[in-house]
Amino acid sequence: MTFRSFFVAASFAALAACGSSGESGTQGAMQQSSARPDCAPNDTSCQSDGLDAPLAVGARLPLDVHITARGVAAPKLLLEAARAEVIGIEEAELVGKSPGWSSVLVAGEDRLVLDFFTLSVVAPDRLEVYRLTKDGAPEASPLPGKIQVVPGDDMELTVKAFSGATRLLGDLDATWSIDGGVATVLDAGRRASRRLRVKNAGNASLVIKTAASTKTLALEVLP
C-alpha cells in the first residue's frame, strides 16, 4: 500500500492508535514500529515515554522511530502526515501547524507504508519554566513565578507548553531576554533551553516569548 492510497484508511483507523504506549515508546497502529520523542542521551524519563500527549501548535518534535517487526531489517524510513495543514514534516521532526489531528505515516524508501501513528495538535494556553537536571530532563515541577538565587548560580532552564493540566509535546521556538544586568542568558545547545548565569545581587525579569505566548520569571539575586 502506498502513501496515497493509505491516507483514507489511516484517517478512519487513526483514533485506534492514540495512547497506545509501550516500554520503548508508542506502538504504531499496525504494531510494526514504535516512536518516541528524540531525547537527551541520559533523559531516561523521556526515553521511556511515547507520544503520550498532544503536540503544541508552533512546536517541533524530533521523532525517534524504530521498526519492531521481527525478521525485518531496519530500512531507511520516510515520514508523511495525512493532514499537512495540521502537522508538518521537516526531516525527522514533526511541526505543529494548527489544532486538529493527523496520522503520521511511516514508510520505507519505496514508499510502502509500514505503520502509522496518530497525534492531536493543540494550541497552548500557558507556558511554564523548568530547571533541567544534569541528565537533561526537566524537574518534576515548574519553577514558581519568582525565584531567589545568589551570584554564581548557574542553571539550565527550559520552557514547556501546557493546555489545561496537560504538558504538550514539542520544543517551542522562543526568544529569551533578561533585564537588570544581574544575570546572563546563554545558548545551551538545545532549542527550547537556555543557561542562566547569575552575576550580581539585584532584581531582574527573565522574559520568554513564543509566537503566541509570553512567560515572565522574576529573579531576586540575594547578596
Residues of the chain with pLDDT > 70, as a percent, come to 83
Give me 181's grid cell: 544586568
Out of 1-10, 96-105, 122-131, 208-217, least confident range: 1-10
Phi, psi of 24 (to 5 degrees): -115, 30
Residue 218 has pLDDT above 70, yes or no: yes
Are residues 81 and 145 both part of a single domain? Answer: no
Q: Report the chain's mean pLDDT, rounded to a whole number.
A: 84
Task: State mean pLDDT over 84-101.
Answer: 94
Are residues 130 and 152 both part of a single domain? Answer: yes
Are residues 8 and 112 both part of a single domain? Answer: yes
Q: What is the pLDDT of residues 47-76, one digit of tens each?
A: 556 788 999 999 999 988 888 877 666 678
Name the domain boundary from 57, 88, 122.
Answer: 122
**pLDDT, position 98:** 96
| Closest by Cα among 197, 144, 169 to 59 | 169
| Helix or strand (DSSP H, E) at 36 | strand 33-37
Are residues 145 and 177 both part of a single domain? Answer: yes
Range(s) of the domain holding residue 143: 126-221
Task: State mean pLDDT over 161-183.
Answer: 92
| Closest by Cα among 169, 79, 166, 164 to 119 | 169
Spatial separation of the C-alpha atoms in residues 121 and 163, rounded to whole Å: 11
Spatial separation of the C-alpha atoms in residues 92 and 60, rounded to whole Å: 10
Name the domain boundary from 122, 150, 182.
Answer: 122
Are residues 19 and 87 both part of a single domain? Answer: yes
Are residues 116 and 159 both part of a single domain? Answer: no
Cross-strand pairs, 35: 26, 65
Are residues 85 and 143 both part of a single domain? Answer: no
| Helix or strand (DSSP H, E) at 164 | none
**pLDDT, position 71:** 63
**pLDDT, position 100:** 97
Spatial separation of the C-alpha atoms in residues 17 and 81, rounded to whole Å: 14
Task: State mean pLDDT over 104-111.
Answer: 88
CATH number at residue 62: 2.60.40.1080
Are residues 87 and 193 both part of a single domain? Answer: no
Name the domain boundary from 122, 139, 170.
Answer: 122
Spatial separation of the C-alpha atoms in residues 148 and 126, rounded to whole Å: 23
Are residues 91 and 9 both part of a single domain? Answer: yes
The structural domain count of the chain equals 2
Are residues 85 and 192 both part of a single domain? Answer: no
